[in-house]
Chains A and B, each alone.
Chain A
Amino acid sequence: MLQALADGILTGSIIALGAIGLTLTMGILRFANFAHAELITWGAYMALGALAITGTFAGPTPPFSFGLPLVFATLIAVVLTAALALLIDHLVFRPLRSHTSHMTVVFASFGVSLLVRMVILLIFGGSAAYYSNELQIAIRVMPGLRVMPDHVFTLGLTLAIVVALHLFLQKTRLGLSMRALAENPDLVRINGIDTRVVVRWTWVIGAALAAVSGVLYGLTVQLRPEIGFQLLLPLFAAAILGGVGNVFGAVIGGLIVGLAESLSVLFVPAGYKMAVPFFILLAVLYVRPNGIFGALRGGAK
């Protein structure tokens, strides 16, 4: 029970990072991006690729199973994931955003998700991969609860990112423009803010968070080309549960979805775990479609 709680919080924090990016793009760019979860897979695998270069310089830093090389690899992955997001936006979403129905962009993102997943499969192959072959010993914190140092690191990093993002959205001019664009796009344009710049930064931030979340997933679970496909439903459930466009809502939503998934194993066979986010989603849509904390105005069409 205690262990399930701890595992749920861990998964939840990874889902939360991905869901923040998704909720930002859903709120600001106004479409449900089915390809967002593939940015997570892409980030995770770009870090794996980069590790082949950075990994030769130094070994792991105890007590963690990784060291500075993975940190640098993550930075490279963040840059490459942001580049992919901007490329997709430039090639596919922007041309469609201007002159067709709103759902066409959603549909295009659905097609793009398949393409990204298959390109990863083509480059890296389908079998599971790991950042490190080091075996990590779980530390017994109290009876019935074992925690790995990597897991503690994951939680700490998530917390730090959420606080930093909150400060960014509240205190900086760009953060304010992003919130304003979610709230009322016309008013933003009247005020002479270049919405293209804001949109670009939204992609960069969403993609960066996705890359970090992918690396953390690879670190604590494993790397497979299907990571994104399997995270898509939890991400959407978390974003909608927390209210579209609401960053803190996405974090709480992510934790709830992660906890529900891991606690569900106590009641139903583990094979059905992936369906848990769907039932959370249905329940939210039936009972409180704006999420528990309410969506930003950007949630409306």
Chain B
Amino acid sequence: MSGYLAYLVFFLIVALTYSIVVMGLNLQWGYTGLFNAGVVGFFAIGAYGTAILTGPDRPELIGGFALPFPAGVVGGMILAALAALLVGLATLRLREEYLAISTFGIAISIQLIGLNFDALTGGAQGLTGIPRPLFSTFGTPGAYNLFYLCLVGTITAIVFAALQVALQSPWGRLLKAIREDETAAASLGKNPALVRLQAFVLGSTLMGLAGGLYVGFIGYVSPLDFLPLLTFQIWAMLIVGGSGNNRGAIVGAVGVWALWTMSGFAISRLLPVHYQSQGGAIQVIIIGLLIVLTLLFRPRGLIGEAQSVSRHAR
């Protein structure tokens, strides 16, 4: 397999993994109007949870249960859901901002645990040697990456389909109803706080799932993979693709990740070594500009939410 094709496979695995995170965020923001400022925290919980549950036993570490990969991923998802429950229960009955601030806080706390709790997370070095599922079945890394792309692609498709079904169900309509007019929904006997909590926890669980898939692919976790910047990148993917539309979420994930990768290449090629750190800042400024300019000038994003009118009213 040629170098470019191998890189394309690698690129798509990461982009599709992020697209699962973006769909989780879309459930929270696009459909329910919940602002999650700590996306990276839930992604990291899924990743670390999977790594600790599936990793090999090591005397100096607490984790290393050597569980099968699917069990590890489910464990990571449950941990992410519990973290979401912790901040969700505290904030979802209150002003909407409080959820944003708390999620920002939990992401910082997770990052600190990743960096400092050496016995569990391996500290700054992270955890290495996490088994990659079915790795020995495939002869070459190239073939394995192709398999993993199929795995991540299938899971992305399942998540997409399941979300479409859920969002077209009465529950999905309830989400939008609460986003648009909470008082009206409550007057019909619905419980807005409970429904918001469900959407928030479910979205965060999907972020945990993506974290687990990420670890299965790269085979190690390190705090450097979970910098606060990732939260902004995921937000840029959602808002550019068009929040309120899962097709947009996937398009945005692939598109923004491509832009990020290519701008990184361009900067490393074009800028002299002396200016590389400034180049990094420019790369991040592009992400910030994408978010702010899309909000201002094209709030619907590339695809955006479809106009929905009751079929009886048409």
Partner of B285, one of A110, A119, A232, A285: A119
Whether A277 lies near B105 (C-beta < 8 A) is: yes
Q: List residues of B (285-314) whose CB comes within 8 Å of A's CBs.
A: 285, 287-289, 291-292, 295-296, 299
Which residues of the other chain, A, contact B105 by a CB distance below 8 angstroms? Answer: 233, 236, 275, 277-278, 281-282
> When A and B form their complex, what is the total count of cross-chain residue pairs whose Cβ atoms lie within 8 Å?
129
CA distance A232 to B115 in the complex (A): 20
Which residues of the other chain, A, contact B282 by a CB distance below 8 angstroms? Answer: 118, 122
Which residues of the other chain, B, contact A240 by a CB distance below 8 angstroms? Answer: 98, 101
Partner of B96, one of A96, A102, A278: A102
Contacts A114-B232, A115-B292: A275 and B109 contacting too (C-beta < 8 A)? yes
Asked if A111 is an interface residue, CB under 8 A from chain B, the answer is yes
Asked if A157 is an interface residue, CB under 8 A from chain B, the answer is no
CA distance A94 to B113 in the complex (A): 38
Contacts A118-B288, A233-B108: A271 and B35 contacting too (C-beta < 8 A)? no
Q: How far is the CB of B158 from chain A (nearest CB, A)?
A: 29
CA distance A278 to B29 in the complex (A): 22
Asked if B87 is an interface residue, CB under 8 A from chain A, the answer is yes
Which residues of the other chain, B, contact A44 by a CB distance below 8 angstroms? Answer: none
Whether B277 lies near A271 (C-beta < 8 A) is: no
Which residues of the other chain, A, contact B91 by a CB distance below 8 angstroms? Answer: 285
Asked if B94 is an interface residue, CB under 8 A from chain A, the answer is yes
Asked if A57 is an interface residue, CB under 8 A from chain B, the answer is no
Q: Is the interface of B mostly helix, strand, loop or mixed?
A: helix
Q: How far is the CB of A112 from chain B (nearest CB, A)?
A: 6
Which residues of the other chain, A, contact B167 by a CB distance below 8 angstroms? Answer: none
Asked if B148 is an interface residue, CB under 8 A from chain A, the answer is no
Contact with B along A119-139 (1 / 0, CB 8 A): 101100110000000000000
Which residues of the other chain, B, contact A92 by a CB distance below 8 angstroms? Answer: 292, 295-296
CA distance A102 to B37 in the complex (A): 16
The residue in chain A whose Cβ has the minimal distance to the Cβ of B278 is A122
Which residues of the other chain, A, contact B33 by a CB distance below 8 angstroms? Answer: 101, 103
Contacts A233-B108, A285-B91: A112 and B101 contacting too (C-beta < 8 A)? no
The residue in chain A whose Cβ has the minimal distance to the Cβ of B123 is A271
10 closest A-B pairs by CB = A278-B105, A111-B291, A271-B116, A32-B97, A115-B288, A114-B288, A275-B109, A122-B281, A285-B90, A111-B292
Task: Please list 29 pairs of residues, one from A and one from B, whose beta carbons are closer than 8 Å in the complex, sorted by A's number.
Answer: A34-B100, A92-B295, A92-B296, A95-B296, A103-B33, A103-B35, A106-B97, A107-B235, A108-B291, A110-B37, A111-B292, A114-B232, A115-B285, A115-B289, A122-B282, A122-B285, A232-B104, A240-B98, A271-B112, A271-B116, A275-B105, A275-B108, A277-B105, A278-B102, A281-B105, A282-B86, A282-B90, A282-B102, A300-B95
Chain A residues near B (Cβ < 8 Å) = 26, 31-32, 34, 92, 95-96, 100-104, 106-108, 110-112, 114-115, 118-119, 121-122, 125-126, 229, 232-233, 236, 240, 269, 271-272, 274-275, 277-278, 281-282, 285-286, 289, 299-301
